Structure 1
């Protein structure tokens, strides 16, 4: 049994690697920072291969698949991503395009390539890390929120296609609320809602992935929030979202 995890050098990705390793899965861990990957590799009990890869580069995404396609991957976790804080008029366009490359294009490419292999053998799990941001418009974090909405809706649509085919392949979206990770520190962002630990989110994610939950929302607070959002008009929801984001500070954040 083998899992490939992108964005595995810290946060949720690192903690999911630890959980799957304890469950006996061999791992392929992907991130840009080799030193972090090597440190994690040293502390995991299972067989671990590391691949340094910058998913902002489309060619790197295809190269990653070519490296891994012969490894008989059972689980793909698309966790890599980052956000960019600030007014849409003022944020750097180059960084926004990099955000879309990592958060959207890389997820799309890897999902499609590995899914084709999974469907052929009629087994496998794909977990795409979205966010509770996918349920909201996100003034001051507009590109990030929009990218996570793409991940959620793509995952749901593909899941329905698989269901109608009678496929045994699982695809699901993880939609956590605020999580205590370097994501916050890099951005210098402070959340008004209490954050969950990345370890807790990772544990729930793995449990519910194996339970084949199509959309995974860790924590009762975020589940209740999503429920009440349905009763709020979009015009009011976007204003509430703006005031929530206004309390935050900082340029960008890694997931």
Structure 2
């Protein structure tokens, strides 16, 4: 059994690699920082391949697929992604385009290419890492929230297509709230609610994925928040979210 994980050099991606390693999976770990990947490889007891690529570059997505397509991947974890914080008219456009390429385009490309292979074999798992941000508009993190909404809606739609054809291929979305990773440091924010432990989130995620749970929301607080967003008036919700986002700035 073999799993490919993008964004595997830190955070949830790294911890999912650790979990899958204990379950006997061979791993293909992908990220920009090869030194981090090699450190993780040396830590794990399973067979590990490391691939240094920047998935913000479209050609890198196709290069990755062509590199591994003959290895019969069983699990694809689309985890690579990052956020940009600030008023939309003030944030750096180049950085936002890189965000869109990483959070949306790379997920779209890899999901499609591997799904085509998985459907032919009628087996395989694709887990797209979205966020609790996918359920909401995100003033002061507009591009990030919108990108995760794309990931969630794409995943849900593909899941339904597979269900209607009785396919055995799994496609699901992970929608965590705040998690203790490097994410906040990179985005220059602080979390407004207590963050979850990344290894716990990874163990829960793998367990739910292997049970074919198509929407994975770790933690009681985020499950409650998901319900809360469904009943709160939209105007009040937007105002509340702006206040929460404003308090994130470091």
User: In the alignment, does 2:81 pair up with 1:84?
Assistant: no
Q: Counterpart in 2 of 1:253?
A: none
Which structure's relative contact order is higher, taking Cα pairs within 8 Å and 6+ residues apart? 1
TM-score (norm: length of structure 1): 0.97
Q: Deviations over 1:147-193 (max 9, x none)?
A: 00000000000000000111000000000000000111222311111
Q: Deviations over 1:72-131 (max 9, x none)?
A: 100000000000000000001111000000000000000000000000000000000000
Contact in 1 for aligned 2:27/2:47 (Cα 8 Å): yes
Contact in 1 for aligned 2:5/2:28 (Cα 8 Å): yes
Query: Unaligned regions of 5+ residues in structure 2, if any?
Result: none
Matched residue SS, 1:173: strand
Q: Counterpart in 2 of 1:47?
A: 47
Matched residue SS, 2:13: helix
Matched residue SS, 1:180: coil
Q: Counterpart in 1 of 2:13?
A: 13
In 1, Cα distance between the equivalents of 2:59 and 2:219? 37
In 2, Cα distance between the equivalents of 1:220 and 1:248? 21
In 2, Cα distance between the equivalents of 1:46 and 1:13? 16
**Cα shift at 1:235:** 1.3
Matched residue SS, 1:77: strand
In 2, Cα distance between the equivalents of 1:31 and 1:108? 17
**Cα shift at 1:228:** 1.4
**Cα shift at 1:249:** 1.5
In 2, Cα distance between the equivalents of 1:98 and 1:186? 14
**Cα shift at 1:141:** 0.3
In 1, Cα distance between the equivalents of 2:67 and 2:20? 21
Contact in 2 for aligned 1:56/1:101 (Cα 8 Å): yes
Matched residue SS, 1:176: coil
Contact in 2 for aligned 1:136/1:145 (Cα 8 Å): yes
Aligned residues: 250
Q: Counterpart in 2 of 1:137?
A: 137
**Cα shift at 1:224:** 0.6
Contact in 2 for aligned 1:187/1:249 (Cα 8 Å): no
In 2, Cα distance between the equivalents of 1:5 and 1:224? 29
User: In the alignment, does 2:99 pair up with 1:122?
Assistant: no
Q: Counterpart in 2 of 1:32?
A: 32
Query: Unaligned regions of 5+ residues in structure 1, if any?
Result: 251-255
Contact in 2 for aligned 1:119/1:167 (Cα 8 Å): yes
In 1, Cα distance between the equivalents of 2:198 and 2:187? 17
TM-score (norm: length of structure 2): 0.99
User: In the alignment, does 2:173 pair up with 1:168?
Assistant: no
Q: Note the 1:36-75 alignment, pairs <5 A.
A: 36-75=36-75
Contact in 1 for aligned 2:82/2:186 (Cα 8 Å): no
**Cα shift at 1:248:** 1.2
